[in-house]
Each structure stands twice: as C-alpha cells, then as structure tokens.
C-alpha cells in the first residue's frame, strides 16, 4: 500500500481495533519518541455510538430544531439513518496515538444554516459537528465558536434617499459625536495639548501609591502615561469643552488633583497576567472558558480588551518566538504505511477454504447491509455466534462511518418487504446469541427486573379478521414460519372490504365443549397416579463401553422409550400399568446426564436402534408425519399376528397416554 502524508491540523482515521470502526481525530502535534517512533497528539471526536442513549435523544432534538430553522429539504428514512453516521461531537480531550495507526484523511466542518445535510452524503469522508461533548461530565453543549452565517445575522440596509428627500431622523439618537475634524484648532495646538495630557498622567501616577509600586521608575510611568487611554481622555476633554484649550486645561487638573486614566494592562496584576497566559495556552482564544475556569472575577469585556493589549507587549513576542522554535523542532508531516492484513477477512489468501469461503460459515448467507450474495471479499461482522458478514463495500462503510447503510436486526430494526433476504429457521447458535440467558450478565440483569405476569389479548376485530381473511393470513403456514413478518395492514384493509359482505351470510361458529373442573381433575388423576418411592440402587453410568445392555423397542419414535416384558404386563401394586415416571422395584436407577442448553456446544443427536427402525417400517408415511406434528397423541402400530395375540400396553416416557400395539 502506498504511503500517505499527514500534517498538523489534518482530520484522520485511527484504527484501534480490527473489528471496530475507525476513530476520528485531529492532529495537534507530531512528536518523535526516544526509540524513533512517531506519536501524534490528537483531539478526540466522538460518534453517536460512543455516547449514551439520553445524549442521543438530546442530539436528535437538536437536529430537528436545526432542520426547522434552516428549512432543510425532506429526506428519506435511509438518508436520515446515514446522516447520523456523518454527525460527530467535538471534545476538548487530548490523547497520544502512534502514527502507524493512521488509516487515511477525512474532512470535518462546523455545521451552519447554509449547509444542506444531504450534501454530506454525496461526498466521501465528509463529516460535520454542531455540539461539544464532555467525556467527564457526560454532557452535550452547543459550540460557542459557531460561524454566524444566515439571513438572520445579516444587516438590513435601508433604501437610499433621493437627492430631493431630506433625512428626517434625529442624529443625536442614532449616534454620538466624539470628535469633530472641522474644529478651530490647528494640528500643532492639538499635539501640544496631548503632550500636556501625558505629563499630567505621569505626575498623577507619581502621586498614586499603587501605580508607584507597579511602575517604580520614571521611565515606566511615562511609558504608561503615553498609552492610548491617556490620548483618548485628552481628545474627549477637547470635544466636551468646545475645543477651548483654557477650559480643557482646567478639566485635566481639577481642584482635587490630576486625573489618572488607566487601562486593563495597568489594572491587572502580574499573577492575573500569568493566569491569563496559562489559560490561553490551554483553551486558545476561547475567552468564555478562560473567564469561567481561570478568571471568574473579571468581565468578558475586560478579558478581551486585555488580550489585544497583551499582544502589543514584549511578552507576546517572546512567547511567539518560543512557539516558533518548538514548531521547528517538532515534525510537520509524517508518512504512514499500512500493510497488515485484516483478521476479520473471511477466506483470506493462504487460509484453508471452508464452506462459502470461510470455515464454519453457512452457505447462502448474504450481506447484512446491502443483502447482496456476491462479493469479491467477505468480512465477519457482529458477534461470532451470529455468523453475520459484510461485503467489501459495506465493510469500508462500516469502518469509516461506524454503521451500516441500512438498519439491521442487530441495530433494533426489522426487515420487511422485498428487501428481506430469504432466511431459513435460525440456528441454535443464533438463538443462543440473541437470548439473554447465554451470559451470566444477561441472567443477572433479567433476574434483577420485577417478574410480572402479563397477558396478550386480541381484539374482536382481529379475531374476525382471522376468520374472514383466512386465504390471505394463512395462519397454519404463519405458525410454521414464526420468523416471517405478516402484513397486518393489508389484512385489516381486506377485512374492512369483506366484512359488509360477510355480515349478510351467517358465520359458522365452532362451539368448543369445555368439561367441568371436576372431570378434568378426575382425568388427570387417572392419567398421572401417585408415584411410589422405590429403593435406589447403585447408579449406573450411561456409557456404551461400560454397560452393554441389549436394546429392544425402547426408543420408538426417538424420545419415546417403553418397557416390553415377554412374560406379561408390567403392573404396579394397585393393579394399574406403570405410568410415566414410575418404575418397578427391580429396575436399577440410572442417572441421566443433564445437558445445559447454554453449555452444550452442539445439538444432542438421538440414534435409533435396529428394533426401532423395524417398528417404524410398519408405519405409513402419512402416519409418520402425523406423529411428528402431534407428538402428544398416542401412536397405533399394526403388527403381524403373533402366536399368542395379546394387546400390550406401552408406557411412554414423554406423555401420560399409553401407546397400544394392535393386530
């Protein structure tokens, strides 16, 4: 990869993780360390994904206000989704990062009313910001340094008066005259009066105790008296006295003594000046923060006036020379190379080929962003158990902008319509990844909530729509495909059309006979009698190598083991056949291994025996399907006529009803 050149002040991408999006930073300094590496001192900028949900809500409110004030054109939902990826939040946090982690340049601008938001989507690597984020206080504030561009910041210029029209405005109310160049005094007379004013100012500083301490020498007092504040006072005195030198002289030296005029340079102490220089080094020309954090007892006008007077002193020139020398010693530009392969790349050159280009990835998976199924290169994205991936173009978008082009299920959105790719049933790993019970933190968070019982009850119109629009709804098919969405609006609209026609013909209501509670209790008592406690024997481990027991028809239909004794029926002490969960006294207790759903790495597989497969041959294909769809119903198998035909009751382990073998 070719090298790129970066200078101080550039906005660049930094990569701190191979799977996370790039960090956006502004280079402030480039320093060379003792071991020869180059480090960049940068200003941090944050994305929406880096701040809390409450601050995101505040940012959304600010964005809506901006759209209303600037009258932005209407945008689609996808454009609004992508504009959130282009918004950044400035901060005053600094950090040092190695220059080898730079991955490219970008452009960040301050948002103003003249900008069109959709224009940022048309330009690559272009971002904007309007709010400042404080990582310590966790707050969002408006930037104080905004550029006031727009119609409401422009001056309203009145129409020009014609030559015959007279200006009827009262000039005294609009402005105040401070100097009249057409006065009766000559320039030498004015210069002489200004010299007298400086002399009076020097004499006044000699009489003032505080000024004599600050300017102990006559030279320093004369220099302070020659500043602009003394000249402005002298010229105001001439204007107020009608340019009469005698009256102006008496005004300079009243009865109480000479008038002392001091500006901000004399009012500020040496310690206050040092605080100002320290604040200026930290915040720059942000006078609001300088006053708030360092000089709260000063007014904002005083701070601004002191800054422009401080720039005329030797102290400012000395600091400027020191900064220039430091800038010469520091690096002005740096070259960055990036040849390291990305570990998120699926099917990288030199790797072992697997399914669909990557080991462990299923065939038929599409891009999570653009839903394409073809790409020159794929990248793994999201949790590993979700097996999500992105194409090459969407991966670059994810790294630069911190999001996907379209909202996905992982971002809280659902896919509907034709954009949704055809997906089969979710795998067991996907279900475990989405379940809150897979991690201990998810379990603790769920248990911390209040457990409240709730019920979902459908309305009458919804129940009527299920009957009227059965051909559109297809409830049986929807039950077999719970992941597919149902267009409820289309069903309701069709129901409103068909409902007047269906009201004329009487609908057949199916009456479901509901037995009484007494009958239900009796039926349950018959099906599930009381369990008898049998003495426990030695635990027998389930291991094919340790225990070699002959297998019989104890695994019929997968999870339906039963006991079949040749000598007759297995009966309990009360004369009834053994129900589910009961065992004879001579049966050994077998402790089955309990496999946790979250800890099991692979699905549990049940292998049928030869006897089970032989019994299944007596079932037709239709009977097998019905048994799979309704596992709670008993299965009847017709066997060949034995030598002693005798119906054998079979006790299943998963249901409470017996399975009877008939001739």
**If pLDDT is split at 50, 70 and 90, which confidence band does 143 have?**
low
pLDDT at 508: 61
Of the chain, the percentage scoring pLDDT greater than 70 comes to 68
Rg of the chain, C-alpha, whole Å: 44
pLDDT at 592: 55
**If pLDDT is split at 50, 70 and 90, which confidence band does 595 have?**
low
440-444, 505-509, 611-615: least confident range: 440-444
Q: State the pairing for strand pair 345-346/388-391.
A: unpaired
pLDDT at 452: 58
Judged against a pLDDT cut of 50, whether residue 219 lies above it is answered with yes
Q: State the pairing for strand pair 87-98/126-134.
A: parallel
d(C-alpha 69, C-alpha 113), whole Å: 8
Site of tokens 């070259």: 335
- Report CA 501 to chain centroid distance, whole Å: 50
Strand ranges, E, within 574-616: none
Average per-residue pLDDT in the chain?
75
pLDDT at 559: 45
- Partner residues linked to 27 by β-bridges: 42
Q: How far apart, in Å, are the Cα atoms of 485 and each of 61, 368, 401, 434?
A: 31, 18, 30, 18
Report the residue count for the chain: 663
pLDDT at 145: 56
Closest CA to 564 of 574, 578, 576, 575: 578
Judged against a pLDDT cut of 50, whether residue 54 lies above it is answered with yes
- Partner residues linked to 42 by β-bridges: 27, 95
d(C-alpha 47, C-alpha 88), whole Å: 5
- Which value, to the nearest 10 degrees, does the dihedral of the CA atoms of residues 59, 62, 68, 72 take? -50
pLDDT at 127: 95
Collapsing DSSP states into helix, strand and coil, what is residue 201? helix
Helix (H) or strand (E) holding 533: none
Could you give phi then psi for residue 19, rounded to 5 degrees?
-100, -20
CB-count exposure of residue 390 (10 Å: 0-12, 13-18, 19+): buried
DSSP per residue over 290-340, as a string? HHHHT-TTS-HHHHHHHHHHHTTSHHHHHHHHHHHHHHHHS-SEEEE---P
SS3 string, 202-271, reads: HHHHHHCHHHHHHCCCHHHHHHHHCCHHHHHHHHHHHHHCCCCHHHHHHHHCCCCCCCCCCCHHHHCCHH
**Which is more confidently placed, 507 or 445?**
507
Q: What is the mean pLDDT of residues 55-65?
A: 90
List for the chain the helix, strand, coil content (%; round to 5).
40, 15, 50
pTM: 0.46
- Report CA 561 to chain centroid distance, whole Å: 52
**Which is more confidently placed, 348 or 387?**
387
pLDDT at 422: 39
Judged against a pLDDT cut of 50, whether residue 429 lies above it is answered with no
CB-count exposure of residue 381 (10 Å: 0-12, 13-18, 19+): buried
pLDDT at 505: 60
DSSP per residue over 17-85, as a string? -SSSPPEEEEEEEEEE-TTS-EEEEEEEEE-GGGS-HHHHHHHHHHHHHHHHHHTPPP--HHHHHHHHH
d(C-alpha 200, C-alpha 259), whole Å: 8
d(C-alpha 312, C-alpha 303), whole Å: 15
Token pair belonging to 386: 């979700």
Reported as a single tens digit per residue, the pLDDT across 290-310 is: 999 899 999 999 999 899 988
Question: Quick check: 329 and 322 in contact, CB under 8 A?
Answer: no
**Which is more confidently placed, 661 or 400?**
400
Reported as a single tens digit per residue, the pLDDT across 606-620 is: 778 888 888 888 888
Closest CA to 225 of 201, 190, 260: 201
CB-count exposure of residue 401 (10 Å: 0-12, 13-18, 19+): buried
Closest CA to 17 of 308, 343, 239, 297: 343
- Which value, to the nearest 10 degrees, does the dihedral of the CA atoms of residues 647, 653, 657, 661 take? -20
Angle between helices 270-283 and 300-310 (to 10 degrees): 90
Token pair belonging to 140: 């969002």
Could you give phi then psi for residue 477, rounded to 5 degrees?
-70, -35
Other Cβ atoms less than 10 A from the Cβ of 86: the count is 21
Could you give phi then psi for residue 438, rounded to 5 degrees?
-75, -30
Q: State the pairing for strand pair 378-381/388-391.
A: antiparallel
d(C-alpha 635, C-alpha 645), whole Å: 19
Closest CA to 13 of 56, 48, 53, 42: 42
Collapsing DSSP states into helix, strand and coil, what is residue 623? helix
Reported as a single tens digit per residue, the pLDDT across 239-292 is: 999 999 889 888 888 887 788 888 887 888 888 989 999 998 888 888 988 999
pLDDT at 17: 87
Reported as a single tens digit per residue, the pLDDT across 155-204 is: 888 888 887 788 888 877 888 888 888 888 899 999 999 899 888 888 88
Closest CA to 109 of 127, 91, 84: 127
pLDDT at 107: 94
Q: Which of 22-31, 348-357, 629-638 has the highest mean pLDDT?
A: 22-31
Other Cβ atoms less than 10 A from the Cβ of 479: the count is 8
- Report CA 345 to chain centroid distance, whole Å: 24
pLDDT at 534: 53
**If pLDDT is split at 50, 70 and 90, which confidence band does 18 have?**
confident
Helix (H) or strand (E) holding 390: strand 388-391
């Amino acid at each position: 990869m070719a090298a790129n050149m970066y200078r101080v002040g550039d906005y660049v991408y930094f990569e701190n993780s191979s799977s996370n999006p790039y960090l956006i930073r502004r280079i402030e300094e480039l320093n060379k360390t003792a071991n020869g590496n180059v480090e960049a001192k940068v200003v941090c900028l944050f994305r929406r994904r880096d701040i809390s949900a409450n601050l995101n809500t505040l940012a959304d409110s600010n964005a809506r206000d901006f759209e209303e004030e600037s009258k932005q054109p209407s945008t689609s939902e996808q454009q609004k989704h992508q504009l959130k990826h282009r918004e950044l939040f400035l901060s005053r946090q600094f950090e040092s990062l190695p220059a080898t982690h730079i991955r490219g340049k970008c452009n960040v601008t301050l948002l103003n009313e003249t900008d069109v938001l959709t224009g940022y989507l048309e330009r690559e690597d272009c971002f904007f910001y309007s709010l400042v984020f404080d990582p310590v206080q966790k707050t969002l504030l408006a930037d104080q340094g905004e550029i006031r561009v727009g119609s409401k910041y422009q001056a309203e210029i009145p129409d020009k008066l014609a030559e015959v029209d007279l200006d009827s405005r009262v000039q005294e109310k609009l402005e105040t005259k401070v100097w009249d160049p057409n006065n009766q005094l000559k320039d030498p007379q004015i210069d002489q009066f200004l010299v007298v004013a400086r002399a009076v100012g020097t004499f006044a500083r000699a009489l003032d105790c505080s000024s004599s301490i600050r300017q102990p020498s006559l030279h320093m007092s004369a220099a302070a008296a020659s500043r602009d504040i003394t000249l402005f006072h002298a010229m105001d005195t001439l204007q107020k006295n009608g340019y009469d030198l005698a009256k102006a002289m008496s005004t300079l030296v009243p009865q109480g003594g000479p008038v002392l005029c001091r500006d901000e340079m004399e009012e500020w102490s040496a310690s206050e000046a040092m605080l100002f220089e320290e604040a200026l080094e930290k915040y720059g020309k942000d006078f609001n923060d300088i006053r708030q954090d360092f000089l709260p007892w000063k007014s904002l006008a005083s701070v601004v006036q002191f800054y422009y007077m401080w720039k005329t002193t030797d102290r400012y020139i000395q600091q400027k020379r020191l900064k220039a020398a430091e800038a010469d010693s520091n690096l002005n530009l740096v070259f960055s190379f990036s040849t390291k392969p990305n570990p998120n790349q699926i099917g990288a050159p030199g790797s072992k080929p697997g399914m669909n280009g990557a080991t462990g990835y299923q065939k038929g998976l599409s891009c999570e962003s653009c839903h394409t199924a073809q790409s020159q290169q794929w990248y793994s994205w999201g949790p590993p158990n979700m097996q999500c991936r992105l194409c090459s173009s969407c991966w670059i978008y994810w790294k630069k902008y911190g999001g996907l082009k379209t909202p996905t299920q992982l971002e809280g959105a659902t896919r509907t319509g034709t954009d949704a790719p055809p997906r089969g049933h979710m795998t067991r790993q996907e279900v475990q990844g989405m379940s809150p019970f897979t991690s201990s933190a998810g379990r603790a968070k769920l248990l911390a909530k209040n457990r409240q019982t709730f019920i979902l009850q459908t309305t009458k119109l919804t129940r009527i729509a299920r009957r009227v629009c059965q051909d559109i709804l297809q409830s049986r098919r929807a039950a077999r495909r719970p992941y597919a969405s149902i267009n409820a609006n289309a069903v309701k609209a069709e129901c409103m059309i068909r409902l007047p026609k269906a009201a004329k013909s009487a609908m057949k209501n199916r009456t479901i006979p509901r037995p009484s509670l007494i009958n239900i209790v009796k039926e349950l008592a018959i099906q599930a009698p009381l369990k008898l406690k049998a003495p426990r024997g030695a635990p027998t481990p389930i291991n094919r190598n340790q225990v070699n027991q002959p297998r019989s028809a104890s695994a019929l239909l997968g999870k339906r083991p039963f006991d079949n004794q040749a000598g007759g029926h297995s009966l309990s002490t009360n004369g009834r056949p053994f129900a589910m969960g009961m065992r004879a006294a001579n049966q050994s207790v077998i402790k089955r291994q309990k496999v946790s759903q979250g800890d099991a790495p692979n699905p549990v597989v049940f292998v049928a025996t030869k006897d089970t497969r032989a019994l299944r041959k007596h079932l037709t294909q239709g009977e097998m399907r019905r048994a799979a769809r309704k596992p709670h119903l008993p299965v009847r198998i017709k066997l060949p006529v034995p030598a002693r035909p005798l119906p054998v009751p079979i006790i299943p382990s998963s249901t409470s009803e017996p399975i009877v073998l008939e001739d």
